[in-house]
Amino acid sequence: DINIVKMSVQMTMRILFRAPLMLVGSLFMLITTSPRLAMLLLVMLPVVFALVWVFSNKARPLFTAVQKRLEKVNTVLHENIAGVRLVRSFVRADYEKTRFAGVNEDLTQTQIKVNKLLSFLIPTLMLILNLGIAALLWFGGNMTIAGTITVGQIVAFSNYLFMTMFPIMLLGMILPQYYASIASMERILEVVEAEPTIVFSEMSEEKIIEGRVVFENVSLDYDGDWDEHAPVLQNVSFSAEPGQTVAILGATGSGKTSLVNLIARLYDPTEGRVMIDGVDVREFSQAELRRNVAMALQDAVLFSGTVADSIRFGRPEASDEEVIAAAKAAQAHDFIMEKENGYQSRVEQRGANFSGGQKQRLAIARALCINPMILILDDSTSAVDVETEAEIQKALEKLMLDRTSFVVAQRISTVLSADKIIVLENGRIAAEGTHQTLIETSPIYQAIYHSQLGNGLEIVEKLAVEELQNA
């Protein structure tokens, strides 16, 4: 889209400056040479402008459709290139070829419609010009015979007539590019003019000092349509004291990630409020909130640059010693030093030269480097082995002493030492307490615990037997 707009500007700027001057000058010379013959323009120009108007009405939606279909082609192509291993492993090459051929055919047919329209416009403009010249020779010849005009004036008039029609023909030639750029510009403006859903108060002077987090009757629904489906979170209330480690457990889709995203204000709650040190998170400035709330996500994203730059991404002024300390705490120091250039080693696009577990450890180091009051680990050790996870947990226990920490985890072994464990079920708090309390009082927690650390094999076998009996 950007390239189309760029090409359109480059092509049309000179023409748009020259064409109006040429049109006005040639019209003046036409009228000066022969006012009677200039009446021909009263017939020609309305026809030309009507033609351009009809073309414009038909061309604009077609060019918009071309851009949309081109986007679909690019999307399918990108998915096939990015997921080429997946396509090969599932032997879906033929299916993907058919899918690409389908969207490509849609683009081709739409482009053919555009080309048919273009093939009609320019020849029609030329036809009108030639008919105008033929009419000029007819009427001008009669006027010459009558002695009211000279042959030289007819020749001059025909040249001026061509100079009058030439800018209009140029307009017809640049119209396709113009409407293509309009379609692209509309798509660009959709992004540029999109209003942010989260608006921060930059003038706020509120400060995060202790890191006490309170959820007060919080409900969250992404699209706000509670009649169609249950909200993601429903009436969630709990508190996390400064220095506490709060673990969030629950099945997939129970709202764990949505809950911690509210602390960092990646979303705003539909109902209720989230408070830090007694202040609604909506009253903090973005800089204050981001400086004191750090996140390490399951899907770790690394930007290209050096390893050191990736770790100090959230705090560019961090010293080399602080970067190394954060890497050691995240158990990333050893594999970083195995690289040829250590912390100055290059990180390829999206961290392609690091494994999933290594990227997660770098993401944890990046969060720790900020030295936040509130640390959020969203299943950030899911891609590391149990031994490495234990080492990370051991190092993090020291770092978590002075900060409020939230740990979202699938492995119950990760959260056994947490000060508070919150079990979510269908967006609600099903149980809350320490490991010892929950193992005695919560059936849901007991089921999770035994499935992972207790008689997990027996449960699997029992489920298999029940499934066979039901079959």
pLDDT per residue as tens digits for the range 215-266? 999 998 877 555 556 788 899 999 999 888 899 988 788 888 889 999 988 8
pLDDT band at 459 (very low <50, low <70, confident <90, very high): very low
The 10s digit of each residue's pLDDT in 164-207 is 877 777 776 777 777 778 777 887 887 787 777 777 777 667 78
pLDDT value at residue 399: 67
Query: For residue 385, is it within any domain?
Result: yes
Domain boundary among 158, 192, 226: 192
Query: For residue 466, is it within any domain?
Result: no
User: How many C-beta atoms surround the C-beta of residue 130 within 10 A?
Assistant: 11
pLDDT value at residue 457: 43
Question: Directed axis angle between helix 356-369 and helix 386-399, to 10°?
Answer: 0
Query: For residue 458, is it within any domain?
Result: no
What's the mean pLDDT in 430-441? 88
Residue appearing with tokens 């599932």: 90
The H-assigned helical ranges of 34-92 are 40-82, 84-89
Amino acid at 18: R
The 10s digit of each residue's pLDDT in 67-92 is 889 889 988 998 888 888 888 888 88
pTM, entire model: 0.66
Most confident of the following: 146-160, 316-330, 346-360: 316-330
pLDDT value at residue 435: 86
Buried b (16+ CB within 10 A) or exposed e, 38-73: bebbeebbeebeebbeebeeebbebbbbbbebbeeb
The 10s digit of each residue's pLDDT in 341-395 is 898 999 887 788 888 788 888 888 898 888 888 988 887 666 566 666 676 677 6
The answer, yes or no, to whether residue 8 has pLDDT greater than 90, is no
CATH number of the domain that residue 54 is part of: 1.20.1560.10
pLDDT value at residue 103: 92
Query: For residue 312, is it within any domain?
Result: yes
Total domain count, the chain:
2
Token pair listed for 224: 């706000």
pLDDT value at residue 176: 72
CA torsion through residues 401, 407, 411, 417, sign: positive
What's the mean pLDDT in 2-23? 76
pLDDT value at residue 84: 86
Q: 124 φ, ψ to 5°?
A: -65, -40
Distance (Å, rounded) from C-alpha 39 to C-alpha 49?
16
Amino acid at 82: A
415 and 274 both lie in a single domain: yes
CATH number of the domain that residue 365 is part of: 3.40.50.300
414 and 271 both lie in a single domain: yes
Domain carrying residue 54: 2-192
179 and 219 both lie in a single domain: no
pLDDT value at residue 26: 82
185 and 228 both lie in a single domain: no
Query: For residue 451, is it within any domain?
Result: no
Strands 374-378 and 293-296: parallel
185 and 303 both lie in a single domain: no
135 and 227 both lie in a single domain: no
175 and 220 both lie in a single domain: no
The answer, yes or no, to whether residue 461 has pLDDT greater than 50, is no
Query: For residue 123, is it within any domain?
Result: yes
256 and 366 both lie in a single domain: yes
The answer, yes or no, to whether residue 460 has pLDDT greater than 60, is no
Distance (Å, rounded) from C-alpha 465 to C-alpha 462?
5
- Strand order in 279-280's β-sheet? 233-240, 213-220, 271-276, 279-280
Among 48-52, 305-309, 395-399, 442-446, the minimum mean pLDDT is found in 395-399
Q: How far apart are the first and last CA of the chain?
A: 55
Which residues share a beta bridge with 293?
A: 374
What's the mean pLDDT in 55-64? 81
70 and 219 both lie in a single domain: no
Which of 351, 310, 341 shows the shortest CA–CA distance to 327? Answer: 310
Mean pLDDT of the chain: 82
Query: For residue 447, is it within any domain?
Result: no
259 and 325 both lie in a single domain: yes
Token pair listed for 35: 């006012």
| 3-class secondary-structure state, position 150 | coil
56 and 15 both lie in a single domain: yes
Amino acid at 67: Q
175 and 268 both lie in a single domain: no
Amino acid at 279: V
The 10s digit of each residue's pLDDT in 94-143 is 899 999 999 999 999 998 988 888 788 778 888 887 888 888 888 888 88
Query: For residue 393, is it within any domain?
Result: yes
Amino acid at 164: T
The 10s digit of each residue's pLDDT in 23-38 is 788 888 888 888 888 8
